[in-house]
Structure 1
Amino acid sequence: MKLTIHGAARQVTGSMHLLEVNQYKILIDCGLDYEKDRSIQSNENLPFNPADIDVIILTHAHIDHSGNLPTLVRLGYEGQILCTAPTADLTELLLLDSVSIFINKAAKQGKFHKRKGKFNSGGGPQPLYLQKHVMDTVERFVTIGYNKPFRLNGDVELTFIPAGHLLGAAAAVLKINDNGEEKTIAFTGDIGRKNYPVLNDPEPLPPVDYLVTEATYGGRYHTKDKTVEQVLVDTIDKACIKEQGRLIIPAFSIGRTQSLVYSLNKIFSSGLLPPVKVFVDSPMAVMATGVFRKYHYLVNAEAQEFYNKKGDEFEFDNLTYVETLKDSRQVSNYFEPCIIISSAGMLEGGRIQDHLFYNIQNYYCTILFIGYCAKGTLGHRLLRGDPIVHIKDRDLAVYATIKQTDVLSAHGDHNDLLNNIKSQDKAKLKNIFLVHGETSSMEIFADALTAEGYTATIPEKGVSYNL
């Protein structure tokens, strides 16, 4: 069998790996590549013919793993897309949101006429895909439960193992008959961390011959001295109770927001802080929370116990989900101490920009980052301490307090990644391929694996390996 790493090679985004077994072609993930030297349209320059792919396996819904699926369908892919049920529902939300982002960007550049609903002739590059292509993609989803072997053909069997990280996220374990020789290979997707709010811990993988693993946090370690609740209590107490100001938390709508809301529910229902008004200003977060409720049997035991004793973990007094744009604008006129949770997490779009526009010069505002911000984003500029930032066509001085915490990061850190691999049989595991990370992180992690006696490879994009 042959493995080719077509995406997330020595970078974080664009996960896409091709496994060929006896002429049968399996694509694992198909994410958008957001690297700075690539345009979104360049994602359609695929290194293979989509019609030649026999099946796609999707590890989880995040757009850097799922976001290019409609492009494949638009260009001729006709097979199934295998994933868990929550992944199918969450991916549909994210892909439809991508279409909205594409169209809004085209409209701002004069390439799309919103009132007429069509593209202007000669308007330059068009969106990568449209709603029709997303719905065609959704029709190809075939959902599989965890730990239930599913035979792809006479030679290949797939099993999904819970990976934490996001509702529905799974590592894909493939048992293969390669010309009479049994081989096993696993693709981790993104690996979660233990004791994360709402989500179950990642489960150990069975022994495999080859492992393709993410290395996002190679060489980096999460804060261990405080819990999620302790960090939030300290921040809210200072920003909203002592200073009587407002706390703005940029958060990704799917996954991060639900974990944050549940953590706030635990804080306020336990009386750790006096009541504070909380606004969740993201229509997608509302829809994603509905998916979390739909698959409530997949949340962790603590969240289920909370539900049984106190009710819906995503609802509590003083919590308001803001859906319409009109109501979103009214939040700016709420002058009592409050918490505003809004997307997008890196501040590159969405309603969060409105809240920043009206609050970045407010001395009594605190902005708390709970996720990663890529270089070049507005979030990254604030975190590095830029005194003036450009928001909605204006240069604004930064008077708000800027803070960051990693307690809500959904990626396992260096030790989590290492412990995930240490559960493998060292005598059986022939090679570990590192993907989904900056080169420096991969090199540190590869050195750590070598010190433990493993063989680790950092693939170049497009290089094939005969396994």
Structure 2
Amino acid sequence: MKLTIHGAARQVTGSMHLLEVDRYKILIDCGLDYEKDRSIQSNENFPFRPEEIDVVILTHAHIDHSGNLPTLIRLGFNGQILCTPPTADLTELLLLDSVSIFMNKANKGNRKRSKGKFNSGGGPQPLYLQKHVMDTVDRFVTIGFNRPFRINGNIELTFIPVGHLLGAAAAVLKITENGEEKSIAFTGDIGRKNYPVLNDPQALPPVDYLVTESTYGGRYHTKNKSVEQTLIEVIDKACIKEQGRLIIPAFSIGRTQSLVYSLNKIFSEGLLPQVKVFVDSPMATMATGIFRKYHSHVNQEAQDFYRDKGDEFEFDNLTYVENLKDSRQISNYYEPCIIISSAGMLEGGRIQDHLFYNIQNYYCTILFIGYCAKGTLGHRLLRGDSIVHIKDRELAVYATIKQTDVLSAHGDHNDLMENVKQQDKAKLKNVFLVHGEEASMQLLAGDLEQNGYTVTIPEQDMAYTL
């Protein structure tokens, strides 16, 4: 069999790997590549013919793993997309949001064009439309965790839960080729232990080859404080002592649900006085509905909370903000409050309105709970820029800027090492590192090699005979 690493090679986004068994072609993930040196339209330049792909395996819903599926279908793919049930529902939500983002950018470019600022080319054309998303949804075939599924006579797929996001799975393939059985696992993104709402990653079965993410290679999460302890300290200072407001940029799917559950525990246990909480993201509201739908997939702690105290995503001082009018009214709420809004890196979404009205407020704290890529507004705030550009204005930064990693959904260096060390060293022939910055990959590779593993860091489009 042949493995070709077509995406997330020495970078984080654009996960896409091609596995060929005889003449049967399996694509594992098909994510958007939005590295800074590529236009979004370049994602339609597949290094293979889409119509020749027989089946797609989707590890989880995040756009850097799922976001180019409608393009694949638009350009000729006609097979099934295999994933877990929660992944199917969350992917549909995220892909429809991508269409909205594409259309907004196109309309913005056309408006500028009408003012004479652009040539006749107008704004960037959408990579795909809603009908392509619905075509994608029609191709989903859902498979439960730990249930072997025979793709064809020679290939068997099993999804193993890995935390990180509701429904996220590693794809483990058993393959019979020329009378010999081989096995390969693709981790997707690996979560961390004791994460709010989500189950811990499950150990993978022994395999011959492992394709693993390396996002946090060389980096370690804070260990001395829990999520609740960290939030209590920040809320106590920002909202209780200073009587101000706390703004938390958070991705709508996954991060927001874990944050809301953690706040619910804090307030229901009386660890802080009641503070008004606004969740200002329509997508977060819809995603929370999906978390409720698949409640059997959340961890035991969250299920116990539901049994003893009720819905973990609902409490008295919490309001899910539905429309834009109500969102804008939050600026007129003068009592201490917590505002949770997307997007996590501050690039678009309702969060920009809240920043616009609060970035110059001495009594506002902005708490980052996730990674911010270079070039984003979030990154500029975290590096300490004193003036930032928001909604066509230059604004001085008077708000307090804080960051914590306790809600990062990626496993750190130790988690990644443990995932590999659970393998049978005598059986495991090679570890391929993907989905990480090159420096992170090198640090993880060095540690693995010191522990006796053979490690490869592929270049993009590099092929290997296994």
Shorter-normalised TM range: over 0.9
TM-fit CA distance, 1:121: 7.7
Query: How many percent of aligned residue pairs carry the same amino acid?
Result: 84
Partner of 2:436: 437
C-alpha separation in 1, matches of 2:123 and 2:154: 46
C-alpha separation in 1, matches of 2:178 and 2:291: 42
- Equivalent residues in 2 for 1:138-157, closer than 5 Å: 138-157=137-156
Partner of 1:388: 387
TM-fit CA distance, 1:123: 2.6
Partner of 2:116: none
- Structure 2 unpaired stretches of 5+: 114-118
2:99 alignment partner AA: V
2:65 alignment partner AA: H
C-alpha separation in 2, matches of 1:176 and 1:254: 34
Contact 1:106 1:112 in 2 (8 A): no
TM-fit CA distance, 1:378: 0.3
Contact 2:216 2:440 in 1 (8 A): yes
TM-fit CA distance, 1:112: 10
SS for the counterpart of 1:110 is helix
Give me the CA root mean square deviation: 1.1
Partner of 2:331: 332
Partner of 1:273: 272
Contact 2:359 2:395 in 1 (8 A): yes
Partner of 1:81: 81
Contact 1:111 1:126 in 2 (8 A): no
Does residue 25 (structure 1) correspond to residue 31 (structure 2)? The answer is: no
Contact 1:248 1:340 in 2 (8 A): yes
2:293 alignment partner AA: K
Describe the superposition over 1:29-73 as per-residue Cα deviations: whole angstroms up to 9, x where unpaired. 000001000000000011001000000000000000000000000
C-alpha separation in 1, matches of 2:390 and 2:108: 15
Note closer, same or farther for the CA distance 1:124–1:236 as it changes in structure 2 (3 Å cut): closer
- Structure 1 unpaired stretches of 5+: 114-119
After the TM superposition, which of the residue ranges 16-25 and 121-130 deviates more from structure 2? 121-130
C-alpha separation in 1, matches of 2:178 and 2:458: 25
C-alpha separation in 1, matches of 2:398 and 2:62: 33
Does residue 135 (structure 1) correspond to residue 134 (structure 2)? The answer is: yes
C-alpha separation in 1, matches of 2:423 and 2:229: 34
TM-score (norm 2): 0.98
Contact 2:430 2:453 in 1 (8 A): yes
C-alpha separation in 2, matches of 1:408 and 1:181: 43
Does residue 49 (structure 1) correspond to residue 55 (structure 2)? The answer is: no
Does residue 465 (structure 1) correspond to residue 464 (structure 2)? The answer is: yes
Describe the superposition over 1:272-301 as per-residue Cα deviations: whole angstroms up to 9, x where unpaired. 000000000000000000000000000000
- Equivalent residues in 2 for 1:308-327, closer than 5 Å: 308-327=307-326
Partner of 2:59: 59
Partner of 1:425: 424
Contact 2:109 2:123 in 1 (8 A): no
SS for the counterpart of 1:238 is helix
Partner of 2:300: 301
2:128 alignment partner AA: Y
Does residue 40 (structure 1) correspond to residue 40 (structure 2)? The answer is: yes
Describe the superposition over 1:117-173 as per-residue Cα deviations: whole angstroms up to 9, x where unpaired. xxx984354110010100000000000000000000111000000010000000000
- Equivalent residues in 2 for 1:62-461, closer than 5 Å: 62-110=62-110, 122-123=121-122, 125-461=124-460
SS for the counterpart of 1:217 is coil
2:34 alignment partner AA: Y
Note closer, same or farther for the CA distance 1:27–1:111 as it changes in structure 2 (3 Å cut): farther
TM-fit CA distance, 1:310: 0.1
TM-fit CA distance, 1:179: 1.3
C-alpha separation in 1, matches of 2:36 and 2:112: 24
Contact 2:185 2:210 in 1 (8 A): yes
Contact 1:22 1:179 in 2 (8 A): no
Point out 4+ residue stretches in structure 1 off by more than 2 angstroms: 120-125
Contact 1:167 1:199 in 2 (8 A): yes
Describe the superposition over 1:85-139 as per-residue Cα deviations: whole angstroms up to 9, x where unpaired. 00000000000000000000111111799xxxxxx98435411001010000000
1:14 alignment partner AA: G
1:45 alignment partner AA: N
Contact 2:109 2:124 in 1 (8 A): no
C-alpha separation in 1, matches of 2:120 and 2:11: 35
C-alpha separation in 2, matches of 1:246 and 1:93: 30
Contact 1:103 1:112 in 2 (8 A): no
SS for the counterpart of 2:461 is coil
2:411 alignment partner AA: G
SS for the counterpart of 2:247 is strand
Contact 2:51 2:77 in 1 (8 A): yes
C-alpha separation in 2, matches of 1:211 and 1:9: 15
SS for the counterpart of 1:161 is strand
How many residues of Structure 1 are paired with residues of Structure 2 in the alignment? 461
2:13 alignment partner AA: T
